[in-house]
Amino acid sequence: MGQASLKNIRTLMLILNFSIVVGICVVFITSVQVIADRGLAVDFISRISYIPTSPLGSSLLCILFLLAFITNLMFREEVLANRGPSIAITFSCFVETLLCVLLCLQTGYTYNGIILLSLACTFPVVEKTYQKVTFISLLILLYVICEYDLLSQYAKIVSFDTYVSYFPATVRSNIYTFKSVLTSVNILVFFVYMYFWVQIKISENLKINQLYEQQYHMNEELKLANIQMKHYIEKSEVAALTQERNRLAREIHDILGHSLTAITLGLEACAKSIEDTEWLKNQLKILSETSNQALVEVRRSVKKLRVDSIEKLSFYPAVLKLCANITSLTNTIVNFEAPDYTEFSPTLEDMLYRIIQESITNSVRHGKAPRIDIRLDNKDGYVLLTIKDNGLGCDDMKLGSGLSGIRERVTSMGGELSFDLSQGFTISLSIPLEEKRDAIG
């Protein structure tokens, strides 16, 4: 059952309430006519506590309020519910509540089932929770208060039974039967409506939760794909950098080979022509320019070998940026601390950056770690690096290309590497600084 079916149920309730209110008005007008025709006005007045307003006038007001109620309801459902502002819908609900009270008043509080119709019409249009609770509480309170048996103890009201009592017994029985049946059907339809409304809301919430779960898994897959793509890009960059390094190595070899050969031959010529001072000065000047040019070319080539992130930001900011990027792009929080950090050699910084980068990728991709803690220390001539995550960990560790690469890097620098598989995954390494390596060597 969908919203169209709920609208049909509300239409049925509207027809029932319209029939009941019009029927009550007909009973009032007809009973007064019967009292007048039978000359029972004195008896009628003696049985009531006050003189009521004209039944015909009250009936006309009832019909007027009922038409206003229907117009307000249709306008709200057809116009405001689709594109109207929230304040307009709120005002419409207040108008509807007021019309319910006026209808109950004009019928002498004989019938309050119109409030149930108002309740059914309020649920679909009021979205904000506090407004929904306010209107529902108000309408329920009115439904309890707008009851003849309750108000007749405190207010002067002519009961519906008094008017009906002047009809013949058969007519009275039929009036009570029709009123009771229509009122019961109205209550029954209201509960049916509320049952299906709750079922539809539960179904919508289940669909929303399913869509949210699907979106969540898609986001996680996209994040993992993004990490994998970055990992592949980094691998491609490493391959491209290796190729570029080979090219640069050949370039440096050619530069140095050519320049050193020229310098060597020039020095030999100088040695043979040491008596010619002017020619010697000119030759030494040419050799100096050649050596300076070779130095410039070598520096330019070596500079290209540095990691791009470190070249732009230096090591410490580059690592912080790497951690911030992972934290912002995934559900993993990466924390980096380096209380004893001082600048290291470019080679060592390049290696540490690559190890940290590879370890973070492994922790996020394989360990599904919510948090990664990285600490870099410089103590007693050693660089100490610890990378710990609280991820899934593993029972049987196999060195893949990433961990093998880390081990090769550390070993090449004369360092030591260890792994801890308890409580997530931890990588610990120590690398001697250049001075320490020289002392050991």
pLDDT in tens, 302-319: 555 554 555 556 788 888
CA distance 175 to 27: 8
Exposure b/e, 105-141, CB count within 10 A at least 16 = b: bbbbbbbbbbbbbbbbbbbbbbeeeebeeebeebbee
Residue 391: its pLDDT value, please? 85
Q: What is the mean pLDDT of the chain?
A: 80
Report phi then psi at 147, rounded to 5.
-130, 130
Residue 257: its pLDDT value, please? 47
| CA neighbor of 118 nearest in space, from 65, 63, 161 | 65
Which residues of the chain are under the pLDDT cut of 50? 254, 257-258, 307, 440
CA distance 71 to 2: 24
Tell me whether strands 382-389 and 416-420 are parallel, antiparallel or unpaired: unpaired
Q: At what angle do helices 55-75 and 3-37 cross, to 10 degrees?
A: 170
Tell me whether strands 333-337 and 371-379 are parallel, antiparallel or unpaired: parallel
Residue 188: its pLDDT value, please? 93
| CA neighbor of 416 nearest in space, from 384, 381, 369 | 384
CA distance 378 to 384: 6
In the three-class reduction of DSSP (H, G, I as helix; E, B as strand; rest coil), residue 45 is classed as helix
CA distance 90 to 122: 10
- Asked if 14 and 120 touch (Cβ cutoff 8 Å), the reply is no
Cβ neighbours for 337, distance < 8 A, ≥ 6 positions apart: 373, 374, 375, 376
Residue 371: its pLDDT value, please? 92
Cα–Cα distance list, 227 to 158, 159, 232, 364 (Å): 79, 78, 9, 8
Residue 111: its pLDDT value, please? 85
Residue 337: its pLDDT value, please? 92
